[in-house]
Amino acid sequence: MLQEERIIDLEIRLARQDDLLDTLNTQMYQQQKKIDELEKLCTALAGRLREVAVAANQRQAGPIDERPPHY
């Protein structure tokens, strides 16, 4: 019986490890999806920030180049 109990114990351990591995794989997949989403968001925000900076620079450059109204 001792041998059979050891085999059962090993099978239980293996089943738990398989379950843990599946859980970890699922979590890693979800984390990678979230990382991908955040990278896309950061890229979009960086692009938008550049657009806003360029627009702000253009607005500031406009009045400097214009003649004052009293001319």
Give 49-68 pLDDT, tens digit per residue.
999 988 888 877 655 566 77
Q: What percentage of the chain reaches a pLDDT higher than 70?
A: 87
Task: Check residue 28 and give its pLDDT.
Answer: 98
Where are the domains positioned within the chain?
1-64
CB atoms within 10 A of CB 6: 10
Buried b (16+ CB within 10 A) or exposed e, 48-71: eeeeeeeeeeeeeeeeeeeeeeee
Rounded CA-CA distance 7/2 in Å is 9
